[in-house]
Amino acid sequence: MNGTLLSLAQRRHAVRRYTSQPVPHDLLQYILEVARIAPSAVNYQPWTFVVVREPELMQRMRDEVYNREWFANVQCCIVVCGHHQESWHRASDGKDHCDIDIAIATEHLALAAAECGLGSCWVCNFDTEACARLLNIHPDVEPIVLMPIGYPATDEIPVKIRKSIEEIVVWR
């Protein structure tokens, strides 16, 4: 094995400082294509990606949806939305797999951004109602993740603290 995916996963980290350089449309198209082909339960693909780049709308995102100091210099944000009525629900217990599918697609976004030399950060602690209002998202659709995408202001990759493989794997 050449470890390319492992190397990419090791480089990917939460970026909270971005330059003001805009992300080219073709890179965003590539990142969104990688997310589009992500697997989902029963291939239902219960998602929508809302790309926010317009400066006035980004300012309102900062003011109304996610008011954090580090978010002030974000130039582009992908809002990953889930369609719970379109997602697969397990027959035995009714478990909704929408959040799982969204997590898979969102990590595809993050890895594709890292591959392109861009930074990203999963944001789940935001005002979902304000987000839905601002972006005119249908009431049946849930904004689940904000994914700022941009050029990192620093090349520094923080040390990742992870449990050892022995702590998380059970062999039977």
pLDDT tens readout for residues 54-103: 999 999 999 999 999 999 999 999 999 999 999 999 999 999 999 999 99
Q: Is residue 105 within 8 Å of 47, Cβ to Cβ?
A: yes
> Is residue 4 assigned to a domain?
no
Check pLDDT > 80 for residue 1: no
Encoded tokens for 121: 């950060």
Residue 114 has pLDDT above 80, yes or no: yes
Q: What is the mean pLDDT of residues 119-132?
A: 98
Tokens 């697609």 belong to which residue?
Answer: 105
How many distinct structural domains can be found in the chain?
Answer: 1
Cα-to-chain-centroid distance, residue 68: 17
Q: Is the pLDDT of residue 160 over 90?
A: no
User: Any idea what the CATH number is for the domain that residue 147 is in?
Assistant: 3.40.109.10
- What pLDDT is stored for residue 132 in this prediction? 98
Range(s) of the domain holding residue 30: 13-168
Does a structural domain hold residue 139? yes
Q: Tell me the per-residue pLDDT of 3-48, one tens digit each, with 9 for 90 and over.
A: 799 999 999 999 999 999 999 999 999 999 999 999 999 999 999 9
Would residue 51 count as lying in a domain? yes
Please check whether residue 8 lies inside any domain of the structure: no
Residues 6 or more apart whose Cβ sits within 8 Å of residue 86: 44, 46, 98
For residue 6, being part of any structural domain is answered with: no
DSSP-assigned states of every residue in the chain: ---HHHHHHHH--B---B-SPPPPHHHHHHHHHHHHT---GGG---EEEEEE--HHHHHHIIIII---GGGGG---EEEEEE-TTTS-B-TTT--B-HHHHHHHHHHHHHHHHHHTT-EE--B--S-HHHHHHHTT--TTSEEEEEEEEE-BS----PPP----HHHH----
Give Cα 38 distance to the centre of its chain.
12
Domain contains 2 = no
Residue 31: phi, psi to the nearest 5? -60, -45
In a domain, 1, yes or no: no
**pLDDT exceeds 90 at position 138:** yes
